[in-house]
Amino acid sequence: MMLWKRLGSAAAGAAMFVSGSTALATTIGFSQVGDEGDWRPAFSKDMQAEAPKEGITLKFADAQGKQEDQLKAVRAFIAQKVDAIIIAPVVVTGWQQVLTEAKRAGIPVFLVDRDVEVSDKSLYVTRISADFNLEGKLAGAWLAQASKGSCNIVELQGTVGSAPAIERKKGFEAIIANFPNMKITKSQSGDFTTEGGKKVMEAFIKSTDNLKGVCGVFAHNDNMQLGAIQAMKEAGLKPGKDFRMVSVDYVPAMKKALAAGDSNASVELRSAIGKYIYPVVLQYLKDKKPLDKWIVIPSDLHTAATPGS
């Protein structure tokens, strides 16, 4: 199974040619969260497209947002004796047992995107992801600047118990804590979906007499912000003009909203990250050298005036 892993692309190509099949390829199981929002399917597509380029046979399992499904998928990967397991965990808790099972089976586990909370960090090799806390800080810093440090904020949280919801909130709060006139006045989960964001914003609009006194909206992802924008427009409000709007992901639909002036800023979360993830996994399978527990993918904030590349 592991004969020619990471021999360099020329040698790998030759090995493929000689064997005439992908039987020697590395097999990796990837347990993905689901397909909520626009960012996640883009990430899945990238992981699926990059795998064959690296000589990887990818077993892809979509958990449809359910941790039980992820646990089942990981156990199936263990039974199939894959070479490595990649997990984008829905929530941070509940991983100790299944990760211990993978360790006992001698199958290395790599976390991507979201994080887990386990007491024993040797249960996974490394995590490759953006820094969600920093994303929250970038969003908070932008809003502090844009509002001159004075803003009542409504917050749309991501999936309860997920690493990005926890960390984006923490990072954002750490920044606004420096400004006595900035505070979160309402906060609720919209589960990272457009519909969720729309529903929560509709409720906020009702309970605050059309967002009276509110100056800003922080959404933990763009899809919830796009839903919030719809709800605000339907109520005759002007997001992006009368309300400062900041979120995370920088998906194509948000780029359009920024250009149209319906939103103001978004922190980019890169989705084409298979090219960072797979080489790390393949190198580890080859040399088993311990890695840092976190390999960070950079984040940056964009506005209509400072678009990304």
242 DSSP 8-state letter: T
Q: From 32-40, 45-53, 225-233, 235-243, give the range in contact with ligand GYE by CB under 6 A.
A: 32-40
Query: In terms of residues, how long is the chain?
Result: 309
Could you say which residues in the range 146-165 bind ligand GYE, by CB under 6 A?
164
How buried is 103 (Cβ within 10 angstroms: 0-12 exposed, 13-18 middle, 19+ buried)? Answer: middle
Residue 206 CB, nearest distance to ligand GYE (Å)? 26
Residue with smaller CB distance to ligand GYE, 58 or 273: 273
98 vs 139, beta carbon nearer ligand GYE: 139
For the record, the structure tokens of 201 come out as 């914003």
Q: In what order do the strands lie in the sheet with 294-297?
A: 56-62, 26-32, 84-87, 109-112, 126-130, 294-297
62 in helix, strand or coil? strand
> Do strands 126-130 and 294-297 pair parallel, antiparallel, or not at all (unpaired)?
parallel
Of these, 50, 113, 167, 262, which contacts ligand GYE (CB under 6 A)? 113
- Contact present, 86 and 28 (Cβ < 8 Å): yes
Chosen residue from 5, 25, 30, 40 binding ligand GYE by CB under 6 A: 40
Task: Supply the Cα-derived Rg of the chain in whole angstroms.
Answer: 21
> With binding defined as CB under 6 A, does residue 36 bind ligand GYE?
yes
Q: Which helix (H) or strand (E) holds 241?
A: none
The least CB distance from residue 293 to ligand GYE, in Å, is 18
Is residue 39 at the binding interface for ligand GYE, with CB under 6 A as the rule?
yes
Inter-axis angle of helices 222-234 and 252-260, nearest 10: 40
Does residue 221 bind ligand GYE (CB under 6 A)? yes
Choose between 166 and 231: whose C-beta lies nearer to ligand GYE. Answer: 166
From 33-41, 137-145, 226-234, 281-289, give the range in contact with ligand GYE by CB under 6 A.
33-41
Contact (Cβ atoms closer than 8 angstroms) between residue 76 and residue 54: no
Q: By C-beta, is 200 or 285 nearer to ligand GYE?
A: 200
90 vs 154 by CB, closer to ligand GYE = 90
Is the dihedral angle over the CA atoms 59, 47, 13, 74 positive or is it negative?
Answer: negative
248 is a contact residue toward ligand GYE (CB under 6 A): yes
Per-residue tokens: 233: 């427009």
Contact code string over 249-288 relative to ligand GYE, x by CB under 6 A = x-------------------x-------------------
CB 32 within 8 A of CB 242: no
For ligand GYE, which is the closer residue by CB, 29 or 34? 34
Q: Does 114 bind ligand GYE (CB under 6 A)?
A: yes
- Taking the complex as a whole, the smallest distance from the CB of residue 38 to ligand GYE amounts, in Å, to 7
Q: How many residues bind ligand GYE (CB under 6 A)?
A: 12
Which token pair is 9? 């692309």
Catalog residues that contact ligand GYE under the rule CB under 6 A: 36-37, 39-40, 113-114, 164, 192, 221, 248-249, 269
